[in-house]
Amino acid sequence: MITAIDFGCYAIRSAYRTPADQTRITMITERSEYAVLSNQSSCRETVIDRNIPCAECNDSTIVFGHHTEQIRWLSRKPCAPLFADAASPTDDAPARQILSILTEAMLPRNVSKPTDCFFTVPRGRLNPENVKFLSHLTRMHGFEPRYFSAAPAVLLSSGSDSRYTGVAIVIGAESSEISVSRYGIELAAETIPVGANWIDTELARQYEIRTWDETGECYLDLETVRQWKHDPGIHLRNSVGERERTLARLYGEVLNRIARSTRDLLNSPAVKSALGDDRLTVYCAGGPTQIGGFASTLTERFVEHETADRILTIRAVDDAETAVVRGLLIQGELEARRRSPLKSAA
């Protein structure tokens, strides 16, 4: 059984074929965060009364994964990320234990023998330690880890109409990845260490969007910023009000870096040799690509970097938040098919 896990800084997603019905796919999503609540009896009793899974750690009650949504009202202290600064939690014992629990819960049960788990990690190309740490974690739960990058996975899940040839852009919470492929074979790629969290942090800082916990300690309120950004009325090209104009400017800065890197990749010898000056479809994935006006804003940046003549069209892929994990599963099944004739011959 092939399994796929997309370890993201905002959410962890897994996918595998349903054991009871191989024509269906089981998909699981968990938030990549945990909440630390006061161990006052009122907090603990509330969590227990509502049957919310929790753990005790020193003088605190810890709730993690998607259950954090159920207890945000109990504390104004922001949730802690499992991947702080896009790094694996090697020095955060609670986060390390929680990540292990979530990973085990998101893998298929009762697998009789080691099976491949295709996975991607935050800033995998830039941080091999993340790949090493999560490979060990996956293997510890009985699966054989196989790392695969996010952007080529998106092309596998969404690029059939172009024969898996084009540019894939994945914008995550802490990084953005660009890849150019021909017939599903990656020719050139780059990862930029900036994503949606930078935009959210800058908005919260510039507009002093803050929250205070019970002790009076102040934090940037990134969750409020994220909820505001999800308003369907927000549009990067038709900004209303100063905050929306700032959002458009911050998005523009991220997309400017993406467009510049895309230009350099398209002009690289490997891409020039394989594709010449062919016009390519750009496939965009990740939650941040779903905001109104994204495609036209990115087009504008391509024009500024004299790359528009290489672009056929820009597409925000269907179900953009799961495009990576679906592509990982496809890659796993393709590799399994390639190996099966060898096993038969042996």
Sequence ranges of the domains in the chain: 155-316
Per-residue pLDDT of 326-335, as tens digits, reads 999 999 999 9
Which value, in Å, is the radius of gyration of the alpha carbons in the chain?
21
**pLDDT for position 236:** 95
In the prediction, which pLDDT does 118 show?
A: 97
Picking from 167, 165, 178, 181, the residue whose alpha carbon sits closest to that of residue 270 is: 181
* Rounded-to-5 percentages of helix, strand, coil across the chain: 45, 25, 30
At the topology level, CATH places domain 155-316 in: Nucleotidyltransferase; domain 5 (3.30.420)
Mean pLDDT across 270-289: 96
CA distances from 333 to 111, 158, 345 (A): 17, 16, 19
**How sure is the predictor about 344, in pLDDT bands with cuts at 50, 70 and 90?**
very low
DSSP state of 78: P
Q: At residue 46, does pLDDT exceed 80?
A: yes
* 342: pLDDT strictly greater than 70: no
pLDDT digits (tens, 9 = 90+) for 55-93: 877 778 889 999 998 888 887 788 999 999 999 998 888
Alpha-carbon distances of 344 from 2, 133, 209, 338, rounded to whole Å:
19, 34, 61, 11
This prediction has a pTM of 0.92
For residue 200, give the H/E element and its range: helix 196-206
Between 78 and 38, residue with greater pLDDT? 78
- Predicted local confidence at residue 234, as pLDDT: 94
The per-residue pLDDT for range 233-254, each reduced to its tens digit, is 999 999 889 999 999 999 999 9
pLDDT of residue 19: 85
When pLDDT is cut at 50, 70 and 90, the band that residue 5 belongs to is very high
